[in-house]
Amino acid sequence: MPPAASSQAAESEPLQPVAALLAVVFPGLGHLYLGRFRQAALIMVGVLGLYGTGVLIGGISCIDRRDNFIWFMGQALVGPLTLGLDQYHQSHMKVIASDKNGATIIRSANPNEMRDPDSGRAVVTFPDPATGLPTANINGKKYSPAWPPYVKSVSRTNELGTLFTTIAGFLNVIVIVDAGMNRRLERKRTPASAGKGGSAAGGGAAGGRTLRVPGAKA
């Protein structure tokens, strides 16, 4: 195929569903697939930097599909990273308890509770008379100090963390659309025939004719 024809084919490439899917899986991965390495690096630093800053500010509690489902939908646009953090939050940082009606619920631990390492249930702690540290007895085993799995950040800090991580998710939507509508970059190669033609022309003979400079003696 002539160079002009291959260039036109590259310009009219269809949508890139693979690149869009990779961008959903991880921010910047779609542009990496397209060969746009600089853009991929900037996307990873920008989106993941904003997302990580939100988690550092608000803690893992700002990613919570049970308590903040609407915000979680925006955070999930970052990809499986959000799903993994939420799963860890629900299964390792929260406790199993009963509400006032006796139904089993999963919630954040209170300041005077610890999480049973085996069952995940909430266990009420009491101050140790000797040390004053929170202590709990679980199946005859003494735990001291018995702290909650984590201390939830204060409201303003938690809100900032939630906001940052959600904005990162919506930024990744732009990244996904751009990856799906962009074209793949390929290295330009000079055809061998073009090189030969150029050398022949430079040698002074082209089609049996000799090139002369006007005014020069033959």
Whether the CB-CB separation of 169 and 76 falls below 8 Å is answered with yes
| Residue-level pLDDT at 189 | 58
What number of other Cβ atoms are within 10 A of residue 183's Cβ?
16
Encoded tokens for 66: 């049970």
pLDDT digits (tens, 9 = 90+) for 120-155: 999 999 998 888 899 999 988 999 999 999 888 788
Structure confidence by residue, pLDDT tens digits, 152-201 = 878 899 999 999 999 999 999 999 999 999 888 765 555 555 555 544 44
Contact partners, residue 196, CB within 8 Å, separation at least 6? none
